[in-house]
């Protein structure tokens, strides 16, 4: 039977089957934990070993994403391929698709791994985005700054996350330097959004088109990196419903099978703009692991295996705080470990560590989740627990 026939005559991929994960970071680790809990086997593929995903997977393959022979070998040994890292080359997804279903498809990955393609797709399909422009020369950049005014943000079109490859331009005379620091890469200029809040909606879509979401999550960033996520976000019914409707439309328009996160800006005037899409579980959804009936990771598994999607009900208001490498004494040249016991003083705080061996400034090493009676209390509790890690607040 050919691959396309196999996909048309669809059979659910049942427990005991093997899931292949392209990428090997913390998202793959939490996915693998969810998959193994349900009796699946997990193979992971990335250019590294002893990775966050590899440590909990059944098989860890170390090869480069452009080693297409290795990719085909990996995909031939699994029942379905998914990914936890969207910067996988298109040819890799294509080679994998010759040997196993890839969900979400390579075309979702291709659109969302490049800011220009992604923004153009969203704009052309009627989704709200901030004005943007492709930049390949100083003339393009100057024309864009003229059009949008300052400040504006110049970003690399590819391989951007957590504010990497971004420059805020506050006056037109910074244009030349901003372009020079970017090097010879494809760039995008975005009009500055004076946002009141950053929000996300994580959606999951099954092979049959079924859709679930975890409501609107509020995200506070620090130095462009997600710091704390809070659920549910305290918003009007109208904005909540609009954000969910936009997210659903994005998953449907892209024909996603799996999980996709829509990151939004909410302006002071109450307008929602999409900042970006992530075609996989998202950092803002880590709290679903402890606080929801079905986590984003289990839902990704259910979606890519063609199983019915689980309830996304939030059992208690929750908040998540990222633990960056900066919290480790060794990063400051000091001895010792973060004070784990102090952070866990409250029984409503949960600790997740990703098994990364070397803490570095800005590196996501783990997170804490707190549950409470209200989202505000959960946020205060998770921040207090994180402070306790470095001894802050001790008498």
Q: Which range binds ligand AMP by CB under 6 A, 4-12, 44-52, 117-125, 161-169?
A: 161-169
Neighbours of 327 (CB within 10 A): 21
Closer residue to ligand AMP (CB): 163 or 310? 163
Footprint (CB under 6 A) of ligand AMP, residues 163-222: 163, 190, 192-193, 198, 221
Selected range binding ligand AMP among 27-35, 62-70, 155-163, 383-391, rule: CB under 6 A: 155-163
Q: Are 93 and 109 in contact (CB under 8 A)?
A: yes
Whether residue 263 contacts residue 195, with contact meaning beta carbons closer than 8 Å, is answered with: no
| Binder among 160, 310, 329, 362 for ligand AMP (CB under 6 A) | 160
Task: Please state whether beta strands 18-22 and 59-62 pair in parallel, antiparallel, or not at all (unpaired).
Answer: unpaired
Nearer to ligand AMP, 86 or 198 (CB): 198
**Which residue among 68, 134, 161, 220 contacts ligand AMP (CB under 6 A)?**
161
Q: How far apart are CA 58 and CA 35, in angstroms?
A: 11
Rounded to 10 deg, the angle between the 68-76 and 90-97 helix axes is 40
Joined tokens for residue 376: 């505000």
The CB-of-358 to ligand AMP minimum distance in angstroms stands at 23
Minimum gap (Å) between residue 155 Cβ and ligand AMP: 6
Cα–Cα distance for residue pair 84/304, rounded to 1 Å? 13
Residue 130 touching ligand AMP (CB under 6 A): yes
Helical H segments across 228-354, by residue range: 237-253, 288-291, 296-305, 340-343
Q: What is the 3-state secondary structure (H, E, C) of 144-189?
A: HHHHHCCCEEEEECECCCCCCCEEEECCHHHHHHHHHHHCCCCEEE
Contact with ligand AMP (CB under 6 A): which of 44, 113, 114, 275?
A: 275
Shortest reach from residue 223's CB to ligand AMP, in Å? 9
Q: Does the protein bind ligand AMP through residue 89 (CB under 6 A)?
A: no
CB of 114 or CB of 212, closer to ligand AMP = 114
Residue nearer to ligand AMP on the CB measure, 192 or 211: 192
Residue the block writes with tokens 């153009």: 120
Question: In angstroms, rounded to a whole number, what is the distance separating the alpha carbons of residues 377 and 355?
Answer: 29
Choice from 60, 84, 276, 298 touching ligand AMP (CB under 6 A): 276
In whole angstroms, the minimum distance from the beta carbon of 131 to ligand AMP comes to 9
Residue 165 C-beta: closest distance to ligand AMP, Å? 8
Q: Are 365 and 352 in contact (CB under 8 A)?
A: no
Chain positions contacting ligand AMP, by CB under 6 A: 130, 153, 160-163, 190, 192-193, 198, 221, 224, 275-276
């Amino acid at each position: 039977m050919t691959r396309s026939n196999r996909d048309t005559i669809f059979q659910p991929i049942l427990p005991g089957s093997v899931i292949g994960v392209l990428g090997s970071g913390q998202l793959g680790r939490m996915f693998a934990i969810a998959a193994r809990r349900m009796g699946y086997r997990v193979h992971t593929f990335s250019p590294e070993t002893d990775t966050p995903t590899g440590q909990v997977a059944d098989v860890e393959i170390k090869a480069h994403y452009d080693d297409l022979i290795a990719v085909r070998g990996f995909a031939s040994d699994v029942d379905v391929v998914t990914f936890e890292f969207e910067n996988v080359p298109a040819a890799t997804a294509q080679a994998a698709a010759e040997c196993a279903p890839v969900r979400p498809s390579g075309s979702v990955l291709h659109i969302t791994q490049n800011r220009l393609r992604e923004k153009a797709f969203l704009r052309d399909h009627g989704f709200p985005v901030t004005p943007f422009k492709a930049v390949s020369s100083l003339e393009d950049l100057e024309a864009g700054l003229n059009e949008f005014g300052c400040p504006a943000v110049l970003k690399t079109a590819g391989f951007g996350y957590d504010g990497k490859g971004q420059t805020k331009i506050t006056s037109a005379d910074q244009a030349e330097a901003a372009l020079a620091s970017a090097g010879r890469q494809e760039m995008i200029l975005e009009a500055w959004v004076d946002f009141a809040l950053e929000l996300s909606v994580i959606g999951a879509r099954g092979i049959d088109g079924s859709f679930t979401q975890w409501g609107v999550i509020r995200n506070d960033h620090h130095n462009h990196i997600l710091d704390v996520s809070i659920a549910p976000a305290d918003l009007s019914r109208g904005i909540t419903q609009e954000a969910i409707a936009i997210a659903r439309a994005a998953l449907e328009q892209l024909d996603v099978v799996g999980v996709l996160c829509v990151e939004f800006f909410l302006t002071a005037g109450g307008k929602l703009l999409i900042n970006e899409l992530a075609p996989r579980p998202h950092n803002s959804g880590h709290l679903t692991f402890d606080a929801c009936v079905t986590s984003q990771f289990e839902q990704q598994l259910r979606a890519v295996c063609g199983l019915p999607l689980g309830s996304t009900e939030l059992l208690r208001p929750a908040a998540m705080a990222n633990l960056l490498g900066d919290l480790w004494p060794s990063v400051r040249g000091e001895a010792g470990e973060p004070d784990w016991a102090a952070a866990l003083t409250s029984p409503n705080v949960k600790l997740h560590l990703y098994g990364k061996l070397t803490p570095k400034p800005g590196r996501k090493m783990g997170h804490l989740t707190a549950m409470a009676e209200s989202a505000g209390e959960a946020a205060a509790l998770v921040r207090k627990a994180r402070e306790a890690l470095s001894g802050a607040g001790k008498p």
